[in-house]
Amino acid sequence: MTQNAPAFAGRRKLLTAQPDVQQLVTNLRTALAAHDPAGLRAVIEAQHPADLADAMIVLNEHEDLAVFQQLEPAEAAEVLDEVDPLTEAALVRATSVERLAALLDLLPADEATDVVSALPPAEADRVLALTTPAIAAAIRTLRVYPAHTAGGIMSLGFVAVPDSSTQAEAVARFREQTDADPLFYVYVLDTQGGFVGAVNLRRLLIAAPATPVRTLLEAEVVTVPPEWNQEQVAHIFARYDLAALPVVAADPGRRLLGVITSDDIIDVLQAEHSQDLARLTGSDAAELEQKTPGQVARMRMPWIMATMFIELLAGLVIHFFDATLTKYILLASFMPIISAISGNTGLQSAAIVIRGLSAGLIQLAHWRHAVVRQVITSAILGGACGLVLGIIGAIWSGNWVFGAVILLGMFAAVNIAGVVGTVVPMISKRAGFDPALTAGPFETAFQDVIGISIFLVLATALLGLIR
């Protein structure tokens, strides 16, 4: 969250963090049900806007709007800064153009841009016409960039000085720009507005007033172009332990377009993590926030139906090996175990690879390394599980050949599932698809079919040795 200092002046409070918002939800609903505006205001005033935003995820749309209408402009602006995108869109649609314009003037430009983006184009233009010219110009600048790029998440609230400035002039500029983000750097530009470098605020403050700022520049400053994906930006933050990252135009002039702050990246990481987890289950991150049961069912239905039809292939495989299963009925007791373990192994491998691809820890150019590591890992897991289950099978059946079939079936199924779980996300990434979409129940179903098939083929081939 980025706060606009003048908007919240005089609101000093001592607040206790709320690790669980359920009690807050209960208190808000109690006040709403009692039609008690004074009680509702008392609950609101005792909370940080971030806690109110969390509670509004749990409240329904009608309750959200009732709470939002009781907020003062500064509170409403900060809550809009904190709520999830779906709640924000619903609140924005239900708020008058005049009030939205007033709230935009209290928000940082990047957050105000998110609000305007939730409106239809015609209504967005009406709101912008009512805001201050500076805010409207900043929003129009940021709307040029797609939402999930470096340009889309950057802030315009940075402090920049000419490279001819002295320390005293730079400090004066920092003091004058009261609406800047709480950054730890002053950025230095050449006479054409091109990016020269950054000065650490601590180093600036301890320098003598007459010191030229160009002599205080950081030795190395990492920058990104505005078209980079937000996941790439998050990886850069993690790799270099950054507090802020300048966004610089990829042209000869190297114009400083904006700055991405660490709080923006925390939001990105949370959103990407939720999206990956949801997609691994064949769902969507928005489902975790606000959707009706009917919308959730429609969204998940294609995945469930596709999984069901793929699993029917496993039924056909089993039917094909009816003779083997009839002769060795004990095999049926081990099939669900092998299917479950191989599917789980494949899904774990897929989750690791997807997270590695997102964080930049796995590079497609070095895919062999990832596959080899997975083969070794799967061999260890498959060997351990196969040995234990094989011994159980041998004891249960009273025949070591039966135990060997179980061991080999488990070993092969786990290894193939692990490789499939590693390779499929990388192929999807190379083809331009989101790898998380291929790693849910759809891929798990294929792994079930493969695991059962391998197990029954081995059983048919080897159990003929039993006399």
Q: pLDDT tens, 179-211?
A: 777 778 999 999 888 999 999 999 999 999 999
Return the pLDDT at 272: 65
Return the pLDDT at 278: 55
The domain of 320 spans 280-465
pLDDT band at 18 (very low <50, low <70, confident <90, very high): low
Asked if residue 32 has pLDDT above 60, the reply is yes
Are 289 and 419 in a shared domain?
A: yes
Return the pLDDT at 259: 93
If you average pLDDT over residues 75-101, what whole number do you get? 87
| Side-chain-side CA neighbours of residue 195 (13 Å) | 28
Does residue 116 contact residue 124 with C-beta atoms inside 8 Å? yes
Are 235 and 295 in a shared domain?
A: no
Per-residue H/E/C for the chain: CCCCHHHHCCCCCCCCCCCCCHHHHHHHHHHHHCCCHHHHHHHHHCCCHHHHHHHHHHCCHHHHHHHHHCCCHHHHHHHHHHCCHHHHHHHHHCCCHHHHHHHHCCCCHHHHHHHHHCCCHHHHHHHHHHCCHHHHHHHHHHCCCCCCEHHHHCECCCCEEECCCEHHHHHHHHHHCCCCCCCCEEEEECCCCEEEEEEEHHHHHHCCCCCEHHHHCCCCCCCECCCCEHHHHHHHHHHHCCCEEEEECCCCCCEEEEEEEHHHHHHHHHHHHHHHHHHHCCCCHHHHCCCCHHHHHHHHHHHHHHHHHHHHHHHHHHHHCHHHHHHCCCHHHHHHHHHHHHHHHHHHHHHHHHHHHHHCCCCHHHHHHHHHHHHHHHHHHHHHHHHHHHHHHHHHHCCHHHHHHHHHHHHHHHHHHHHHHHHHHHHHHHHCCCHHHHCCHHHHHHHHHHHHHHHHHHHHHHHHHCC
Among candidate residues 113, 144, 175, the one where a domain is terminated:
144
Return the pLDDT at 161: 95
In a domain, 94, yes or no: yes
Asked if residue 120 has pLDDT above 50, the reply is yes
Q: Which residue has the higher pLDDT, 450 or 255?
A: 255
If you average pLDDT over residues 291-301, what whole number do you get? 65
Asked if residue 268 has pLDDT above 50, the reply is yes
Are 229 and 322 in a shared domain?
A: no
Are 181 and 226 in a shared domain?
A: yes
Contacts of 222 (CB under 8 A, 6+ apart): 236, 240, 242, 245
Are 22 and 167 in a shared domain?
A: no
In a domain, 274, yes or no: no
106-115, 125-134, 273-282 — most confident range: 125-134
Asked if residue 435 has pLDDT above 50, the reply is yes
Are 12 and 85 in a shared domain?
A: yes
Are 177 and 223 in a shared domain?
A: yes
In a domain, 36, yes or no: yes
Does residue 147 contact residue 118 with C-beta atoms inside 8 Å? no
Return the pLDDT at 319: 78
In this structure, of 133-137, 252-256, 352-356, the range with the lowest mean pLDDT score is 352-356
If you average pLDDT over residues 20-41, what whole number do you get? 88
pLDDT band at 378 (very low <50, low <70, confident <90, very high): confident
Does residue 454 contact residue 412 with C-beta atoms inside 8 Å? yes
pLDDT band at 4 (very low <50, low <70, confident <90, very high): very low
Are 232 and 381 in a shared domain?
A: no
Asked if residue 11 has pLDDT above 50, the reply is no
% of the chain residues with pLDDT over 70? 83
Domain count, the chain: 3
Asked if residue 218 has pLDDT above 70, the reply is yes
Asked if residue 373 has pLDDT above 50, the reply is yes
If you average pLDDT over residues 350-372, what whole number do you get? 76
Mean pLDDT rounded to a whole number for the chain: 81
Are 320 and 417 in a shared domain?
A: yes
Among candidate residues 223, 240, 267, the one where a domain is terminated:
267
In a domain, 90, yes or no: yes
In a domain, 241, yes or no: yes
In a domain, 459, yes or no: yes
Asked if residue 33 has pLDDT above 70, the reply is yes
Are 223 and 83 in a shared domain?
A: no
Return the pLDDT at 7: 39
Return the pLDDT at 273: 60
- Tens digit of each residue's pLDDT (9 = 90 or more) over 402-427: 888 889 888 988 888 888 888 878 88
Among candidate residues 238, 267, 296, the one where a domain is terminated:
267
Asked if residue 349 has pLDDT above 50, the reply is yes
Read off the CATH number of the domain in which 433 is found: 1.10.357.20
In this structure, of 3-7, 50-54, 200-204, 277-281, the range with the lowest mean pLDDT score is 3-7
Tokens of 52: 């109110």
- Tens digit of each residue's pLDDT (9 = 90 or more) over 329-340: 787 788 888 878
Burial class from Cβ neighbours inside 10 Å (0-12, 13-18, 19+) for residue 440 reads buried
Read off the CATH number of the domain in which 10 is found: 1.25.60.10
If you average pLDDT over residues 11-26, what whole number do you get? 66
In a domain, 150, yes or no: no
Asked if residue 8 has pLDDT above 70, the reply is no
In a domain, 151, yes or no: no
Are 298 and 432 in a shared domain?
A: yes
pTM: 0.60
Are 450 and 317 in a shared domain?
A: yes
Read off the CATH number of the domain in which 239 is found: 3.10.580.10
Q: Which residue has the higher pLDDT, 104 or 284?
A: 104
Does residue 360 contact residue 235 with C-beta atoms inside 8 Å? yes
Return the pLDDT at 6: 38
